[in-house]
Amino acid sequence: MTSQGILAFITGIGVVPIVRVSSSESAVQAVEAIYQGGVRAAEITMTVPGAIRALEKVADRLGDKMMLGAGTVLDPETARACMLAGAQFFVTPALRLSTIEMAKRYSKVIFPGALTPTEVLTAWEAGADAVKIFPCGNVGGARYIKALKGPFPHIAMIPTGGVNLETAADFLKAGASAIAVGTEMVDAKTIQEGRFDIIEDRARQFLACVTKARAEMKSAA
């Protein structure tokens, strides 16, 4: 799939679950639960012990059924390792141009992290497919996305931080191309209790929330 196709697939889903857990096996189980809940994309963060192995396992088990991403990618070397493990897209917490270059060299999708208007524009000009606005919840949430979309209507933005079932619709209506969801979908307590059915259910709830918000936006237009 081309990078444009990957981006269209992810924004079509509208929600990117962030899997940040304490073991590679838990990460694989969480992604499988997300898949069962109907969300066909997820990112496994590099803070997961054995994250590369987790990527390889998910790629083996779900293959082309799931759009698999690597999160918390700090440098181009890590991006390359994740790519070889099966990651189709990369998400970074901060803006590092060399990591964007690596993704573009291999026609992969990247959502670099940025916060200020200058960082957002720099990331976009460097080839970002969409810009991860992080930590969005700490600087105004949906209102901050709306403020950024004023001067940058052409830049695709994916807010991260402060996104939950109550705020998801607000972020989308403010102009977000998709939302990224962390502990609101995959949290430590649920993982420890082995309640992957809860994660599955949350995936369904977020999908329903995105569908409803987009339908309301369409009717309002």
Q: Which of 43, 56, 184, 200 is catalytic?
A: 43
The Cα–Cα gap between 45 and 117 comes to 25
pLDDT digits (tens, 9 = 90+) for 53-91: 999 999 999 988 999 999 999 999 999 999 999 999 999
The predicted pLDDT at position 158 comes to: 98
Residue in the block written with tokens 């940025």: 114
Strand 109-111 with 89-91, pairing: parallel
What's the token pair of residue 205? 């709830």
Picking from 43, 23, 51, the residue whose alpha carbon sits closest to that of residue 130 is 43
- The whole model's pTM is what? 0.96
pLDDT band of 221, cuts 50, 70, 90 = confident
166 is catalytic: no
104 is catalytic: no
The predicted pLDDT at position 219 comes to: 94
pLDDT digits (tens, 9 = 90+) for 115-156: 999 999 999 999 999 999 999 999 999 999 999 999 999 999
The stretch 48-53 carries a mean pLDDT of 98
pLDDT digits (tens, 9 = 90+) for 168-186: 999 999 999 999 999 999 9
The predicted pLDDT at position 99 comes to: 98
> Which structural domains are found in the chain, ordered by start?
3-220 (3.20.20.70)
Sign of CA dihedral 61, 71, 125, 139: positive
What's the token pair of residue 101? 């270059």
The stretch 33-62 carries a mean pLDDT of 98
In this structure, how many other beta carbons lie within 10 angstroms of the beta carbon of residue 124? 20
Q: Which of 32, 57, 108, 132 is catalytic?
A: 132
In this structure, how many other beta carbons lie within 10 angstroms of the beta carbon of residue 176? 27
